[in-house]
Amino acid sequence: MVIKQQSVNSKFKLNLILKITQAINENLSIDELLQQYKHILFNDLKIGKIAVYKFSSRWEKLLVSGISKECIDKIKIGKHLSSISEITYVSRDLPEVFWSFDFIIPVIHKNSVLAYILIGDIDEEMEGMSPAIRHLSFIQTISNIIIVAMENKRLYKQLLIQEAFKKEMELASKIQNLLIPNQSSLPQNQYISTCGYYQPHFEIGGDYYDFINFNDQELGFCIGDVSGKGIPAALIMSNFQATLRALFRPETPLDELMVQLNQKVCDNSSSEKFLTFFIGIYNYTTRKLKYVNASHHPPLLYNFVNGETTLLKKGCIGLGMLNEIPAISIGEITINEHSKLLCYTDGLIELERDDQMEVGVQFLTKTFATQKNISDTFTDLIHHIDIGKKNKTVIDDISLFGIEFKTTQM
């Protein structure tokens, strides 16, 4: 008789497992799986009280029945049950909020607790062995099957979201790269040679540089860096690029342009976001360079003839720092001799070298201030400073461009 009863129980449990696996294979939703789970516990196994808590990024209630809300609200899973890793009888050693239950059943997945099942019986005077005791191991088994299935569904959904986000970021990166001049589109003529480099810390970033050929005689150029990085910085910079392209004209005085740009930045970004920015206009005929430096790292101007390096500092505060710029100084310099200019963002000098020291302005100046042309100089910079995606010391967006101002005799 006992053997027959055991056979009946085994068949009963196998049928329930089959029912659960069929539900999972039918790709039922998490809510539908929970309803199946609840039905098995209450109707098939006759469990009276139950509370199910699952961990994803934090502990959350999945299922509660037969227990007062006042009791449930007092339960703090992470605080009370973190040390429980096996089926545990609820003794008086546990906090009083658990005394309404009989057993705590952990669900273990990949060597960590994924969920806790708290169970008890409504009718404590019932005859025979309590269902909570009789089916402990089986409850743990079916709980593991269902909750792991829910976790897999959650992870799969998360993976789909991540894949979609990754594709959107890749598209955003391609679009942003279209805003940054590539080497083939950089100005190259009898007056100047140019090189550029752009590397966002993430897929997209808040650095930006640009060249604008106004006419046969005048070239506009700029470099900027939004505070922060990632998507917020990239959105601000993309908006700024469109604004700059619309407003930057050789006939517009640079101080007036800076006032207009500052207003746009203040209108289109939050108060904690600002830009450091350098902008210049170079006239091929007069060889005059006019510029404004808005709190950006001063570009380096190296003279091939006398070996001197000049920092282009004149300007104003960063764009968006204040609603109104207190004062703007326009720098002006005549480049009569063979020279080269390096503009860069702070991600470059914050890189660590082999000796674990930051690149810094001094090392950058030493590497730049040589008799090599701008192309070879950039090759040295990228090699010596080890710029690249595989460099683990890259902590910010990196942008730089160089201009070599040729002499008429060259």
Q: Give the pLDDT means over successive 10-residue stretches in the chain (410 positions).
A: 49 76 76 81 80 82 80 78 82 83 84 84 50 71 81 81 77 73 89 91 81 95 88 85 93 96 88 89 97 96 95 96 95 96 86 60 87 93 67 68 82
What CA–CA distance (Å, rounded) separates 386 from 73? 55
What CA–CA distance (Å, rounded) separates 358 from 386? 12
Is residue 249 domain-shared with residue 327, that is, in the same domain?
yes
pLDDT of residue 260: 96
Radius of gyration of the chain (CA): 34
Question: What is the signed CA dihedral for 198, 202, 203, 206, rounded to 10 degrees?
Answer: -60
pLDDT of residue 131: 55
Q: In this structure, are residues 53 and 119 in contact, taking their beta carbons and an 8 Å threshold? A: no
Is residue 191 domain-shared with residue 151, that is, in the same domain?
no
Is residue 147 domain-shared with residue 198, that is, in the same domain?
no
* DSSP string computed for 172-230: HHHHHHHHSPPGGGS--SSSEEEEEEEE-SSSS-SEEEEEEE-SSSEEEEEEEEESS-S
Kindly state whether residue 163 falls inside one of the protein's structural domains.
no
Is residue 208 domain-shared with residue 325, that is, in the same domain?
yes
Kindly state whether residue 308 falls inside one of the protein's structural domains.
yes
What CA–CA distance (Å, rounded) separates 20 from 61? 21
What CA–CA distance (Å, rounded) separates 385 from 380? 8
For 401, the enclosing helix (H) or strand (E) is: strand 398-405
What 3-state class would DSSP assign to 130? coil
Kindly state whether residue 311 falls inside one of the protein's structural domains.
yes
Comparing C-alpha atoms, which of 77, 87, 83 is closest to residue 54? 77
Domain count, the chain: 2
Is residue 222 domain-shared with residue 342, that is, in the same domain?
yes
Q: What is the pLDDT of residues 129-147, one digit of tens each?
A: 455 566 777 888 888 888 8
Kindly state whether residue 410 falls inside one of the protein's structural domains.
no
Tokens found for residue 95:
């906090």
Eight-state DSSP code of residue 350: T
* Segments forming the whole domain that contains residue 304: 180-405
Is residue 121 domain-shared with residue 220, that is, in the same domain?
no
pLDDT of residue 237: 87
Is residue 126 domain-shared with residue 237, that is, in the same domain?
no
What 3-state class would DSSP assign to 339? strand
pLDDT of residue 316: 97
Is residue 199 domain-shared with residue 119, that is, in the same domain?
no
Kindly state whether residue 164 falls inside one of the protein's structural domains.
no
Q: Is 244 exposed, middle or buried (0-12, 13-18, 19+ CB in 10 A)?
A: buried
Which residues are CB-contacts of 211 (< 8 A; sequence separation ≥ 6)?
181, 186, 187, 194, 219, 220, 221, 401
Is residue 233 domain-shared with residue 381, that is, in the same domain?
yes
Neighbour tally for 293: CB within 10 Å: 24
